[in-house]
């Protein structure tokens, strides 16, 4: 792959998506993407190696053809119930003789924050600096160049089950690709859909996929809590199929056509194929609503209780942003507003050039976010990233080991 291109691979529960971007004069630009059905994943974890490899190969080939470049290494999205997150804090003495914080000090303190009690079957995926403290002054976003003798960092640490990660990487390797780094999915989705102001004020991101709903909570610019729940759009399709006694394919179509509707919209009848596909019966949008609403509300409540249990009581949150294919459900926003008691918007991928209308859809947030988040690692909010002449070359080199 040409040096100035960057690629992402999102192996989802319903689809695999590969995205290639190139660093142009005006910044990053998407130059190719490819999508293929994903049949070898369930709730974010690999259940069939061969199917997953096929899916990666198909998506990557399409992206390569469109971009006209060979993809050799990719940032790989990862999710699943094996992912855990925690916050940690570390302190180091500034080593510079004139007591000025250097990049090496930042690196050392972030590394030190990675020393946590980790069972043998788990590994760190991210250590994301939330803020630094220099000689007791906290809330420092960018300590580089500041005078001080004692540097502290508060980090958000994300870990995953080694065997689950290994299986994903096995598929990536067997599809002929190298991993440039793993990215927990909601971090990628956030990079594509959230504004830095939102992260500053306090925001919840929910990526509702087919098999999982990924959660990321930001406050003061950094991630404070991340998690995932094993419920997504597939279970809703399943509910509809059971409730209306029809096939999964028909239920999926019905879900996409009518969704949760709105409480005040007039009741409408629509045809439903019977299970054997030979006859048609009738159902109504009110009936559908009775199936869809409780499941969607339950999913939001599960996400909310996870957040409430894990963030400080006094945390200020201004908004909920929903993305992922599940965010396309008609009538989903008022349901989220009701559960969270916060304004809700659907997050479409942005912040990068070359996005066609086809790509400006919530289901591509993760894949597009990978090329944005991947090279910048966890330091997207920090000034020394913005100051750096080339984010790609400089930051990548010293961030390399933050991925491990």
Write out the residues near ligand ATP by the rule CB under 6 A.
Answer: 12-15, 44, 209-212, 232-234, 237, 252, 255-256, 259, 324-326, 328-329, 363
Beta carbon of residue 149, minimum distance to Mg ion (angstroms, whole number): 45
The item of ligand ATP, Mg ion, none sharing an interface with residue 363, based on CB under 5 to 8 Å by kind, is ligand ATP
CB 229 within 8 A of CB 213: yes
What residues does 157 pair with on adjacent strands?
A: 86, 127
State CA 342 to chain mean position distance: 21
Beta carbon of residue 59, minimum distance to ligand ATP (angstroms, whole number): 11
Beta carbon of residue 214, minimum distance to ligand ATP (angstroms, whole number): 7
Alpha-carbon gap, residue 287 to 296, rounded angstroms: 15
- What mask, x for binding Mg ion by CB under 5 A, covers residues 329 to 368? -------------------------------------x--
Task: Measure the N-to-C terminal CA separation of the chain; round to a whole number of Å.
Answer: 23
Pick from 1, 5, 11, 12: which binds Mg ion (CB under 5 A)? 12
The item of Mg ion, ligand ATP, none sharing an interface with residue 5, based on CB under 5 to 8 Å by kind, is none
What residues does 218 pair with on adjacent strands?
A: 203, 223
Alpha-carbon gap, residue 216 to 251, rounded angstroms: 30
State CA 89 to chain mean position distance: 24
Query: Which residues between 195 and 234 bind Mg ion (CB under 5 A)?
Result: 209
CB 397 within 8 A of CB 388: no
Query: Which residues between 361 and 380 bind Mg ion (CB under 5 A)?
Result: 366
The item of Mg ion, ligand ATP, none sharing an interface with residue 255, based on CB under 5 to 8 Å by kind, is ligand ATP
Q: Is the CB of 202 or the CB of 362 nearer to Mg ion?
A: 362
Q: Is the CB of 90 or the CB of 215 nearer to ligand ATP?
A: 215
Beta carbon of residue 28, minimum distance to ligand ATP (angstroms, whole number): 22
Alpha-carbon gap, residue 290 to 361, rounded angstroms: 27
Q: What is the DSSP letter of 267?
A: P
H or E element in which residue 23 lies: strand 15-24
Q: Is the CB of 15 or the CB of 126 nearer to ligand ATP?
A: 15
Q: Is the CB of 148 or the CB of 161 nearer to ligand ATP?
A: 161
Tokens 């102001």, residue? 197
Tokens 């894990």, residue? 310
Residues interacting with Mg ion, by CB under 5 A? 12, 209, 366
């Amino acid at each position: 792959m040409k040096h100035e291109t960057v690629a992402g691979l999102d192996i989802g529960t319903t689809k695999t998506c590969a995205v290639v971007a190139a660093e142009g004069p005006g910044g990053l630009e998407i130059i190719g993407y490819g999508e293929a059905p994903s049949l070898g994943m369930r709730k974010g974890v690999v259940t069939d190696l061969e199917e997953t490899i096929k899916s990666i190969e198909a998506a990557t080939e399409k992206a390569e053809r469109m971009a006209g470049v060979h993809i050799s290494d990719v940032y790989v999205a990862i999710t699943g119930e094996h992912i855990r997150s925690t916050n940690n804090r570390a302190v180091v003495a500034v080593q510079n003789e004139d007591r000025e914080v250097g990049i090496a000090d930042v690196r050392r303190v972030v590394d030190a924050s990675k020393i946590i009690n980790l069972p043998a079957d788990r590994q760190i995926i991210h250590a994301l600096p939330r803020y630094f403290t220099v000689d007791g002054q906290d809330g420092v976003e960018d300590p580089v160049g500041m005078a001080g003798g004692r540097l502290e960092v508060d980090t958000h640490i994300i870990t995953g089950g080694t065997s689950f990660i290994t299986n994903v990487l096995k598929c990536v390797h067997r599809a002929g690709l190298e991993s440039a780094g793993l990215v927990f999915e909601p971090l990628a989705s956030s990079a594509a859909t959230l504004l830095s102001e939102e992260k500053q004020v306090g925001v919840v991101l929910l990526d509702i996929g087919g098999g999982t709903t990924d959660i990321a909570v930001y406050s003061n610019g950094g991630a404070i809590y991340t998690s995932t729940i094993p419920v997504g759009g597939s279970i809703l399709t399943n509910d509809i199929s059971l409730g209306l006694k029809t096939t999964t394919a028909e239920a999926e179509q019905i879900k996409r056509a009518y969704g949760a509707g709105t409480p005040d919209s007039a009741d409408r009848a629509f045809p439903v194929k019977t299970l054997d596909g030979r006859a048609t019966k009738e159902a109504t949008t009110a009936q559908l609503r009775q199936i869809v609403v409780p499941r969607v509300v339950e999913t939001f409540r599960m996400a909310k209780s996870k957040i409430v249990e894990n963030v400080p009581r006094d945390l200020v949150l201004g908004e909920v942003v929903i993305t992922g294919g599940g965010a396309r459900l008609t009538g989903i926003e008022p349901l989220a507003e009701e559960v969270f008691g916060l304004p809700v918007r659907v997050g479409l991928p942005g912040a990068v050039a070359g996005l066609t209308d086809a790509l400006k859809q919530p289901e591509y947030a993760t894949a597009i976010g990978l090329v944005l988040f991947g090279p910048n690692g966890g330091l997207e909010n920090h000034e020394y990233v913005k100051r750096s002449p080339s984010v790609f070359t400089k930051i990548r080199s010293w961030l390399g080991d933050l991925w491990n």
